[in-house]
């Protein structure tokens, strides 16, 4: 009897687990407002395209890199604020897969930001090209993710915005430090390593510990 009832139940249980897994992922993405984030990233890509087509930014020299840097760092700020969780402690206490969900969300959004900005710049002469987009978005997102672990996801936008100030000066004064990667050429190995380190640190800490719960502003 047990075998008879259990045998057909096995595939159904597997299906349920898979469906439950998908539902868990979907609910996690919803709780982080990922669909809205994707729309925001798409808007950034569209505005970048408009800015390139109608030449809204400075046209030559290092100043021309200000325009892509603004969008790359802006999208990083969007990624950073998705780490905010409305559930806090209960979610951490019950969510066994939470680190993997956080990791997947941050990686997926970073890839989406790179893809959407790249699509926005497709066919136009974007200073720095796609390599610079990959490096700058990843590095700035790493700063945002690191700050999310320190001061909370809702305020994590402060990190990329503060880095924007440094990047702007570095661009206009042609700094050579690899830590100011938006001012370095796209093939600069040191800048790529620095950005990758910051991204790896940010995504690891945020995935393992999550964004800090902030009670107030």
Partner 1 sequence: MTTASISLRARVPRVRARPLAAAGRLLRLELRRNPMVWLLLPLGALMGFSPYQVSMEYAPVWNLRASVMLDHFLPLVAFGAGAAAWMGSREARRRTTDMVTTTPRPGWARKLATCAATTCWMLVAYACLVALLYGVTARQATWGGPVWWPVAVGGASLAVSCALGFAAGMFIPSRFTVPLAALAVGMAALMGVSHSTNPYALLSGADGIPPSDIGVFYRNPPDLAVIQLMFLIGLGIAAAGALGLPASSGGPWLRRSAAAVTVVGLAAAGTAVGLTGTASVRPTGVVIPALHDAAGDGPIGYTPACSGVVCIHPAFRAYLADLVTAFDPVLSEVAGLPGAPARADQIASSDAGDVGALISGSPAVFRFALPATSHSFIGDLDTTLVTLFIGGQPAAKGNGGTPAQQAVESGLLTAAGVQGADSAALSQASPAISHAAARFAALSRVARRTWLATYLPALRAGHITLVEVP
Contact footprint for partner 1 (CB under 8 A): 33, 36-37, 40, 43-44, 47, 51, 55-59, 63, 66-67, 70-71, 74, 77-78, 80-82, 84, 154-155, 157-158, 160-162, 164-166, 168-169, 172-173, 217
Smaller CB separation from partner 1, 40 or 98: 40
- Name the minimum Å distance from CB 97 to partner 1: 23
Smaller CB separation from partner 1, 168 or 192: 168
200 C-beta neighbours (distance < 10 Å), count: 12
No. of H helices and E strands in the chain?
8, 0
- Name the minimum Å distance from CB 217 to partner 1: 4
Structural contact between residues 92 and 210, judged by C-beta atoms closer than 8 angstroms: yes
Smaller CB separation from partner 1, 81 or 134: 81
Smaller CB separation from partner 1, 126 or 155: 155
Smaller CB separation from partner 1, 56 or 97: 56
- Name the minimum Å distance from CB 162 to partner 1: 6
| d(C-alpha 205, C-alpha 210), whole Å | 7
| d(C-alpha 34, C-alpha 110), whole Å | 12
- Name the minimum Å distance from CB 84 to partner 1: 6
- Name the minimum Å distance from CB 210 to partner 1: 16
| d(C-alpha 45, C-alpha 71), whole Å | 8
| d(C-alpha 139, C-alpha 216), whole Å | 28
CA angle 198, 204, 205 (to 5 degrees): 90
């Amino acid at each position: 009897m047990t075998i008879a009832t259990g045998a057909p139940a096995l595939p159904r249980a597997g299906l349920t687990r898979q469906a439950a897994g998908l539902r868990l992922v979907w609910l996690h993405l919803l709780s982080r407002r990922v669909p809205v984030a994707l729309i925001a990233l798409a808007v950034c890509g569209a505005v970048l395209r408009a800015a390139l087509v109608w030449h809204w930014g400075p046209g030559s020299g290092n100043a021309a890199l200000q325009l892509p840097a603004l969008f790359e760092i802006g999208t990083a700020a969007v990624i950073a604020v998705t780490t905010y969780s409305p559930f806090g402690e209960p979610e951490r206490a019950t969510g066994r897969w939470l680190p993997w969900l956080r990791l997947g969300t941050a990686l997926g959004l970073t890839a989406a930001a790179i893809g959407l900005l790249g699509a926005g710049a497709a066919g136009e002469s974007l200073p720095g090209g796609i390599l610079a987009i990959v490096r700058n978005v990843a590095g700035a997102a790493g700063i945002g993710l690191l700050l999310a672990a320190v001061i909370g996801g809702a305020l994590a936008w402060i990190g990329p915005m503060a880095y924007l100030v440094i990047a702007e000066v570095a661009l206009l004064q042609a700094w050579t430090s690899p830590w100011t990667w938006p001012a370095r050429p796209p093939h600069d190995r040191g800048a790529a390593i620095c950005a990758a380190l910051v991204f790896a640190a940010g995504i690891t800490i945020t995935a393992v510990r999550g964004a800090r719960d902030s009670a107030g502003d």
